[in-house]
Amino acid sequence: MVEAADSGSKPLLSPDGIRTDGRKIDEMRKVKMEVGLLKNCSGSAYIEQGKTKIIVAVHGPREAHPKHLAQPGRAILRTRYHMAPFSTSDRKSPAPSRREIEITKVIREALEPAVMLDEFPKTSIDVFIEVLQADAGTRSAGITAAALALAEAGIPMRDMVAAVAVGKLEGRVVMDLNEEEDEHGQADMPVAMMPNVNRITLLQLNGRLTRAEFEEGLSMARRGVDQLYEMQKQALREKYTSSEPAQEED
């Protein structure tokens, strides 16, 4: 087994493949999803992935303001990834950081191929991604929740988008890093996919992977995305089936 590069005495992965939080190498953190919790928007979603907690609100399609941004033949998709000041242990300045601006861009590009923007010319669809508690994997969880919120808003999509990060600890490829693993691990690779179209809409890599590790990571990400994809559909269905008897009472 390779020695941990810089994490000192405490290994991130035990020799029998158990991680610091007790997960196996290909095990995702516990995920909870919910849709339709906000009222002042077209669609909303909430996701918990381990200790990461994110809420997403979608507005639109609505008239694009300022007007010069509007495109004559399609809607524009605008995103905002933002971390709440209380989302980290040290206060995070509420002003958008360099990192948040970048993540805003990559999330927009991860969602754009899925949303059928040409259905609503001259409008804008705004996606607000607010990280309430950050524990690694916020961009991928943000994408997963944003796709859910778009679906709940009734905006047509070619496919849902789901995302998960894979990484490398002690020389082994693992699924869905948490904060500690992200900080001290050897690599972090978030992947977003549209499973039906079999298309990758986001792929980033921080660290080094060999070609074999990359291949392994990508297929592991695919398995994670498939799990999340099913959960997304379940969350949407649940909102409109299980809640019915309760509404009948009033």
Partner 1 sequence: MNIIAKHRQLVTPGDLVAEGKFRAGQNVIKLNGDRFYATVLGSFEIKDRDTLSVRALRGPYIPRRGDKVIGKVVDISMGSWTVDIRAPYEATLPAGRFPARINPVFDDIRKFMGADDFVYAEIAEFDRARPPILDATLNREYGLIRQGVVIEVEPTRVPRIIGKKGSMIQLLNRELGSQITVGQNGRVWVRAPSPEAVSNTVSTIRLIEAEAHTQGLTSRVEERLKTLKNASQKVATENKE
Applying CB under 8 A, the residues found at the interface with partner 1 are: 42-43, 60-63, 72, 116, 120-123, 151-160, 194-197, 229, 232-233, 236-237, 240-241, 244, 247-248, 250
Query: Which lies closer to partner 1 via its Cβ, residue 160 or residue 177?
Result: 160
For residue 109, give Cα distances in angstroms to 49, 50, 90, 112, 114. Answer: 22, 25, 30, 5, 10
- Number of alpha carbons in the 13 Å side-chain half-sphere of residue 167: 25
Find residue 49's DSSP bridge partners.
31, 52
CB 79 within 8 A of CB 125: no
We find the least distance from the C-beta atom of residue 37 to partner 1, in angstroms, to be 14
Query: Which lies closer to partner 1 via its Cβ, residue 132 or residue 157?
Result: 157
Tokens of 180: 């500690």
Query: Which lies closer to partner 1 via its Cβ, residue 21 or residue 119?
Result: 119
We find the least distance from the C-beta atom of residue 35 to partner 1, in angstroms, to be 9
Query: Which lies closer to partner 1 via its Cβ, residue 13 or residue 38?
Result: 38
We find the least distance from the C-beta atom of residue 229 to partner 1, in angstroms, to be 7
We find the least distance from the C-beta atom of residue 134 to partner 1, in angstroms, to be 28
Q: Which residues contact 136 (CB under 8 A, 6 or more apart)?
A: 52, 165, 177, 178, 179, 181, 182, 188
